[in-house]
């Protein structure tokens, strides 16, 4: 029987639920969740028959709901949807092999959530390209100007970094979307962070800021992958 991985937690600090159980709930296909404990770490999994789960909307929503529920109980390094391991031994091997790294990462995200930020060019800002320029030189110049403008926008978002433990920036190649950010923000600072986004959105004329979350810290959990 394959095992579908939802995430990795520090088991030594994992609180019991209201009924006194260290873990309860169901995952995809209503399969019960269970923890495979190895030292101070545990992988939260459910049984999964067959091939990798299809990324259908209902499955993605169900998976996300399960991970969010786990996140509300304790810090978790969430696994990407569809992370399937072939056996309990494979899961335990992962926990042993990457113990120090995984423990460091789960402690780094404790008490924090992920907020995502998109900066889109506003209509009329003059940055959205029209028809492709007739010459290769003009096209390359236009792309360079767009990238330089995107870097300028990124620098104007620097105040948000002061409210976050960590951040990940992507200068997007899409002409209508200059910057993507993921921020790891302490729970008690989420409102302050969202208020700062609104303030910056009011002052920046050429981009519209869209903040989503809070959610599980996927962008800061590389170590949860196989």
User: Residue 132's CB: how many other CB atoms inside 10 A?
Assistant: 10
**All domains in the chain, ordered by first residue:** 2-110 (no CATH), 112-220 (3.30.70.100)
> Is the Cα dihedral 204, 185, 158, 139 positive or negative?
negative
DSSP state of 132: P
16-47 per-position pLDDT tens digit: 776 666 788 899 889 999 999 999 999 999 99
Distance CA 180, CA 133 (A): 26
Binned at pLDDT 50, 70 and 90, residue 224 comes out as: low
> What is the pLDDT at residue 137?
65
The pTM assigned to this predicted structure is 0.81
164-193 per-position pLDDT tens digit: 999 998 766 566 666 789 999 999 999 999
Written as six digits, the tokens of 221 are 């959990």
Written as six digits, the tokens of 214 are 């809070």
Written as six digits, the tokens of 160 are 């948000």
């Amino acid at each position: 029987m394959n095992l579908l991985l939802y995430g990795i937690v520090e088991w030594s600090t994992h609180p019991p639920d209201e009924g006194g159980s260290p873990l309860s709930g169901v995952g995809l296909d209503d399969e019960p969740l269970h923890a495979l404990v190895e030292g101070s770490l545990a992988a939260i999994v459910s049984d999964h028959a067959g091939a990798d789960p299809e990324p259908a909307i209902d499955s993605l929503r169900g998976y996300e709901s399960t991970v969010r529920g786990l996140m509300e109980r304790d810090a978790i390094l969430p696994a990407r949807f569809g992370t399937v391991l072939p056996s309990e031994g494979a899961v335990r091997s992962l926990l042993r092999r990457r113990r120090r790294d995984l423990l460091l990462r789960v402690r780094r995200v404790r008490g924090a959530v992920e907020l995502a930020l998109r900066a889109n060019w506003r209509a009329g800002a003059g940055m959205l390209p029209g028809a492709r320029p007739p010459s290769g030189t003009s096209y390359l110049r236009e792309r360079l100007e767009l990238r330089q403008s995107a870097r300028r926008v990124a620098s104007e978002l620097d105040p948000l970094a002061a409210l976050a433990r960590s951040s990940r920036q992507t200068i997007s190649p899409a002409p209508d979307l200059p910057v993507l950010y993921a921020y790891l923000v302490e729970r008690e600072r989420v409102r302050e962070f969202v208020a700062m986004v609104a303030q910056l959105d009011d002052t920046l004329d050429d981009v519209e800021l869209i903040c989503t979350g809070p959610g599980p810290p996927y962008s800061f959990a590389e170590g949860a992958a196989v």
